[in-house]
């Protein structure tokens, strides 16, 4: 990469992130600050040895479609090209063809020796470079298979890549798009940085092309959506997958590393921001996708992670939001929460509904009286003769006694910290396919307390990325990516009021205190809805200070009983948004290996 390219990159980062971040980025490049690649390679090598069996028995299939693997070429490295040909000829599934479209300025005769005797390999010298999109499209013209797979000229497929694809197609002939997990490979053949992906996640995909490689599409669907669009060069694959997803929901994820993304001097695999224009193209791809699907929104870069975008949907109409805050005494925390709502909230059509639950302190009722003249505040007194804390009952009581189109469950020990938080929540929740939306919650030191919930964590469920320091990035920037998740915390859970009735409200009998939020979200998923974590809705959560910890024997018994009830009800649920290759003993996307 030349001096001119480096200056372009520096200018790009200054304009987008500012001086401080740019200097930090340069420091990392020069001094390798924070580079922990080597510390992770040993773990990944162990995973490879435990999970990739080259002696695996190869089955024969009743359905053996031809897969056309298309490759755009341009000044292709001979060594890389030979390895690419070898990886194709060594595929355990044999009904394939390789379509090569070479846009080099001069034809490299040396390359022909590697495929001249293989009739399954088609080669077309274009005589002109049409860019990655144009060259790929030329390769697609050559394709005669029922499915098309996309492979870059310097990357590799695992030996069983096509076999695993066809295995899935034999289990479900309706599948129209398949993607797999991937990793990176350096020039010495060392593999690292595995990308274990979630199952198909529509809201995640809109904000980040997590699918990338390896993609196989049914030829019929490809014809319907067209070829790669040269307007999005650098993010042409992102635009293509978004168009595919607009036209099918028959999308399958294979949780195996079947694609190796080559790292070398000029590849985007080596340095994420090698080609800044790619992320500008990605932003335009998202904007165009939203226009095609009739969604009005503003698309921005998502913090400081290239390739992650923030979508702020336009709020339709002026719907009322009822903010439900259960409270028993502790008016200091409650006042802090309510003051923060009044101070920062830009959206005006909301009400605060305090669900009073057996408070005893005079100061609490004095505070209630001080709020009585505020038309945005309402006190709902929940009468319970047993004076038992039952969070589900409190929320259900609140939902049934408000008239807001949207309901927010909000803990009294939270603090709102940004102006457009309600617009961001409404923007997603107004989509009738979304059941609930949650935000990014911080501890007092601004380390993460909640970034979505993993179902199955420690055998039950738990928050993602707990204690991740502020400003530090998690696995593939997951703390900063809007994502589909299986559940979000009830400390900040936003939903249309109508969905409560549709799924039978929160479970008052089995989950009085613990797991009621997770159970509610899973009921929504079971009913066909999706759950969204929006990291741009940020608030502090002073972690259950209003109730204290589970310290009495009675509380421990109740918690253990609710754990058992949850496992009985949802024990067979496999979280589709947390890859099966991650450990369920950790909330940090740690790779699952034996003896951990």
CATH, residue 88 = 3.90.550.10
Residues 347 and 463 in one domain: yes
> Over 50: is that where the pLDDT of 286 sits?
yes
pLDDT over threshold 90, residue 265: no
Directed axis angle between helix 19-31 and helix 3-17, to 10°?
140
152 in any annotated domain:
yes
With vertex at residue 204, the alpha carbon angle to CA 199 and CA 205, rounded to the nearest 5 degrees, is 85
Digit-coded pLDDT (tens) for 361-400:
999 999 999 998 899 999 999 987 777 889 999 999 999 9
What's the CA gap between 466 and 590, in Å, rounded?
13
- CA 36, CA 17: separation in Å to the nearest integer? 23
Distance CA 219, CA 213 (A): 17
Q: Give how far the C-alpha of residue 474 lies from the chain's centroid of Cα atoms, to the nearest Å.
A: 12
Contact 455, 487 (CB under 8 A): yes
Say how far apart CA 100 and CA 125 lie, in whole Å. Answer: 8
Is residue 25 located within the same domain as residue 137? no
**Number of structural domains in the chain:** 3
The verdict on residue 593 lying in a domain is: no
Tell me what pLDDT residue 2 has: 44
Task: Judge if 72 and 16 occupy the same domain.
Answer: no
Q: 406 and 275, same structural domain? A: no
Q: What is the mean pLDDT of residues 568-585?
A: 96
- What is the number of alpha carbons within 13 Å of residue 275 lying toward its C-beta? 15
For residue range 417-432, what is the model confidence (pLDDT) as tens digits? Answer: 999 999 999 999 999 9
Does residue 588 fall inside a structural domain? no
**273 and 393 together in one domain:** no
pLDDT of residue 55: 63
Q: End-to-end alpha-carbon separation of the chain, Å?
A: 41
Average pLDDT, the chain: 90
pLDDT of residue 8: 45
Q: pLDDT for 489-507, tens place per residue? A: 999 999 999 999 999 999 9
Per-residue pLDDT, 270: 47
Higher per-residue pLDDT: 36 or 242 = 242
pLDDT bracket for residue 57 (50, 70, 90): confident
In a domain, 489, yes or no: yes
What's the confidence (pLDDT) of residue 13? 45
Give residue 172's domain range. Answer: 43-306
Residues 515 and 367 grouped into a single domain: yes
What phi, psi does 399 have (nearest 5°)? Answer: -60, -40
pLDDT for the residue numbered 19: 57
Q: What tens digit of pLDDT does each residue of 200-231 get?
A: 999 999 999 999 999 999 999 999 999 999 99
Given a cut of 50, whether residue 258 has pLDDT beyond it is yes
Whether the per-residue pLDDT at 479 is higher than 90: the answer is yes
Strand duo 215-218 + 177-185: pairing: antiparallel
Among 552, 545, 507, which Cα is nearest to 526's? Answer: 507
| Same domain? 476 vs 382 | yes
**What pTM was estimated for this model as a whole?**
0.90
């Amino acid at each position: 990469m030349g001096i001119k390219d480096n200056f372009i990159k520096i200018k790009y980062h200054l304009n987008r992130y500012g001086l401080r971040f740019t200097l930090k980025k340069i420091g990392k490049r020069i001094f390798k600050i924070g580079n922990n690649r080597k510390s992770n390679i040993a773990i990944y090598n162990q995973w490879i040895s435990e999970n990739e069996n080259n002696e695996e028995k190869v089955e024969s299939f009743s359905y053996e479609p031809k897969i056309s693997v298309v490759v755009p070429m341009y000044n292709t490295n001979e060594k890389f090209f030979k390895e690419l040909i070898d990886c194709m000829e060594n595929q355990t599934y044999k009904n394939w063809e390789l379509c090569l479209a070479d846009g080099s300025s001069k034809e490299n005769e040396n390359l022909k020796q590697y495929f001249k005797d293989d009739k399954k390999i088609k080669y077309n010298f274009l005589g002109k470079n049409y860019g990655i999109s144009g060259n790929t499209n030329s390769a697609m013209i050559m394709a005669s298979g029922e499915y098309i797979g996309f492979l870059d000229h310097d990357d590799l497929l695992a030996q069983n890549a096509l076999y695993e694809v066809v295995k899935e197609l034999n289990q479900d002939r309706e599948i129209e798009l398949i993607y797999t997990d991937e990793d990176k490979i350096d020039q010495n053949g060392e593999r690292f940085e595995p990308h274990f992906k979630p199952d198909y996640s529509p809201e995640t995909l809109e904000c980040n092309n997590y699918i990338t490689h390896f993609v196989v599409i049914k030829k019929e669907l490809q014809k319907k959506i067209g070829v790669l669009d040269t307007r999005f060069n650098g993010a042409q694959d992102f635009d293509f997958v978004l168009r595919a997803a607009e036209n099918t929901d028959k999308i399958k994820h294979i949780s195996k590393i079947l694609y190796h993304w080559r790292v070398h001097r000029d590849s985007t695999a080596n340095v994420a921001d090698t080609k800044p224009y790619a992320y500008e193209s990605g932003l335009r791809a998202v904007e165009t996708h939203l226009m095609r699907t009739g969604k009005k929104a503003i698309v921005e870069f998502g913090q400081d992670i290239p390739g992650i975008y923030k979508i702020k949907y336009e709020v339709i109409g002026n719907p009322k939001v009822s903010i439900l805050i259960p409270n028993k005494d502790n008016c200091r925390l409650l006042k802090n929460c309510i003051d923060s709502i009044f101070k920062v909230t830009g959206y005006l059509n909301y009400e605060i509904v305090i669900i009073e639950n057996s408070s005893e302190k005079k100061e609490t009722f004095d505070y209630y009286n001080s709020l009585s003249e505020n038309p945005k505040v309402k006190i709902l007194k929940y009468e319970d003769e047993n004076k038992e804390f039952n969070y589900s009952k409190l929320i259900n009581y609140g939902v049934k006694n408000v008239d807001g189109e949207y309901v927010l469950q909000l803990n009294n020990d939270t603090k709102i910290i940004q102006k457009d938080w309600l617009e961001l929540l409404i923007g997603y929740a107004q989509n009738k396919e979304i059941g609930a939306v949650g935000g990014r919650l911080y501890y007092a030191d601004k380390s993460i307390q909640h970034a979505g919930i993993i179902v199955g964590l420690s055998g039950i469920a738990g928050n993602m990325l707990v204690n991740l320091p502020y400003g530090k990035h998690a696995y593939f920037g997951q703390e900063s990516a809007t994502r589909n998740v299986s559940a979000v915390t009830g400390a900040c859970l936003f939903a249309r009021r109508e969905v409560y009735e549709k799924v039978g409200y929160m479970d008052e009998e089995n989950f009085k205190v613990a797991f009621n939020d997770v159970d509610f979200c899973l009921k929504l998923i079971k009913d066909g809805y999706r759950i969204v974590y929006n990291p741009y809705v940020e608030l502090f959560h002073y972690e259950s200070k209003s109730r204290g910890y589970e310290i009495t024997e009675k509380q421990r018994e109740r918690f253990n009983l609710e754990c058992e009830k949850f496992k009985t009800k949802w024990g067979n649920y496999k979280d589709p948004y947390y890859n099966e290759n991650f450990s369920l003993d950790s909330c940090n996307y740690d790779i699952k290996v034996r003896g951990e």
